[in-house]
Structure 1
């Protein structure tokens, strides 16, 4: 199981970092809207006597020259908590980078409710006030570390919060993979690819490919084939302590990506080694937050309120 998180008090949050999505999309809030929200948050925090630090890229992008800014490594050493304004993708990027520093994260969503950015812009001020007074629900999430080996040499090594995905090239046929878990041969698989996901990532690409939902507190790693040639190749959940070795046996132009960000081209004989990272991420939510509420909202499980009423 993941480590038990500790309780928080107002004194737990003296230095607060703020990050935002770097390139707002056309359908999201404009850069001016986001800058206004960032300023509103920063001014509120400063009024409560707290030190506010923006990530350098965020300060530059939104012209927040009158606030203190630092690079992410310095923030990792200094901050008591980080507030991330954006979507789940923004949170994933910041979470991976802050994981080695054990800085807890609060997610404020620019648009629709996210799986891990669960506070709306409309609700952020009263909820932030409550959370920074110590009224928070905290949880820890696991990460994966992935290594690409070629001819015995490490070609790439990074963290993944959601998943490590091997996939065929856009113009090629199926890729053939040989998978071992903890040194035990599991299978050869011909498919469009393979997803190795954390419980957090079980609601991302893994879910779209037919994988199971895993509660974030579970200690497991899910392997989900993408359009396998043999229908008997099904998703499987292995222990969090497992070391998964995937060798590229056949297929052209395949690649591996980590949280859909860091991408490397693969060659036949390449090995991708995936296991749990020693780092975890702590998310802070409003008091009373429930993972099941988020699932119900995102997956539209609230279509039949009369059923909910009967179960109360």
Structure 2
């Protein structure tokens, strides 16, 4: 069962208010302890709402509910990753590959999930480091992908790819997408990458506009 609930919402969408109100009604009927991201609390007229900065909402809850599209869920997932908090999506976007529930299903589905009637999935998360002169100068995590790309130039970039210390290829291109199975339906798909089942333990290396006739996406084990 879930009791401490955090909510993120897409605050630029006119349909958020009605969906958020319906979500709050279900959670309050279960006597949940609810905290809403301060940035999205203004979309609903409810003086009883408790708000907090987004990082506190993500780190101190049993469940995060993301109301919006896949972008909203990705933001919630990134913030909740350090605490391994579960994330549930209510879809107000277009495709909704990641968001599980439509607004029309809230009253029927959300309550049983809060009561413990659900199936969870674990997803692969990437960790990327920028190393300069032997020191880590930048680090971040990605649920969808990590992208190496040119910046502020119209020319191709030339680089080499190594996996576990072994040379794989060199290429001239606009960059490279390193995609998880979750991200295989996002930028990677637009770049010609394969669609991977979310439970596969794999990664995809997808070149971005390579200047080559033979450079194609490569699928690797996620232990690489």
Q: Does the TM-score normalized on the shorter chain lie above 0.5?
A: yes
The alignment status of 1:210 with 2:192, answered yes or no, reads yes
Residue 152 of structure 1 and its aligned partner are, at CA, apart by 3.3
Instruction: Give 1:201 deviation, angstroms.
Output: 0.6
CA RMSD, Structure 1 to Structure 2 (Å): 1.9
Q: Secondary structure at the match of 2:113?
A: helix
Q: How does 1:130-279 map to 2 (within 5 A)?
A: 130-169=112-151, 171-242=153-224
Could you list the per-position Cα deviations for residues 124-149 of structure 1 after superposition, in whole angstroms to 9, with x for gaps in the alignment?
22111232233312111011011122
The Cα of 1:22 is off from its aligned counterpart by 3.2
Cα distance in structure 1, aligned partners of 2:28 and 2:142: 33
CA contact (8 A) 2:22 2:106 kept: no
Indicate the residue corresponding to 2:10 in structure 1: 21
CA displacement 1:175-217 (0-9 Å, x = unmatched):
1111111111111111121110111011111111111111111
State TM-score, norm by structure 1.
Answer: 0.67
Counterpart-to-counterpart distance in 1, 2:59 and 2:154: 45
CA contact (8 A) 2:193 2:217 kept: yes
User: How far off its partner does 1:108 sit?
Assistant: 0.4
> Which residue is equivalent to 1:83?
65
- Measure, in 2, the Cα distance between the counterparts of 1:94 and 1:78: 13
**Is structure 2 residue 80 aligned with structure 1 residue 98?**
yes
Distance 1:190 1:112 in 2: 34
Q: Which protein, 1 or 2, shows the higher relative CO under an 8 Å CA cutoff with sep ≥ 6?
A: 1
1:58 & 1:129 partners in 2: Cα distance? 22
**Does structure 2 retain, via aligned residues, the 8 Å contact 1:15–1:79?**
yes
Consecutive unaligned residues of structure 1, counting only runs of 5 or more, are 1-11, 25-29, 243-312
Counterpart among 30, 37, 56 of residue 74 in structure 1: 56
Distance 1:91 1:22, change over 3 A: same
Shift of 1:228: 1.3
Shift of 1:70: 2.1
| Aligned partner of residue 130 in structure 1, secondary structure | helix
Change (3 A) 1:209 1:77: closer
User: Which of 129, 136, 154 does residue 111 from structure 2 map onto?
Assistant: 129
Is the Cα contact below 8 Å between 1:113 and 1:120 reproduced in 2? Answer: no
Listed as ranges, the gaps of 5+ residues in structure 2 are none
Report the more deviating stretch, 63-72 or 144-153.
Answer: 63-72
What's the CA shift for 1:238?
1.5
State how many pairs are aligned: 224
CA contact (8 A) 1:165 1:193 kept: yes
User: Is 1:47–2:35 an aligned residue pair?
Assistant: no
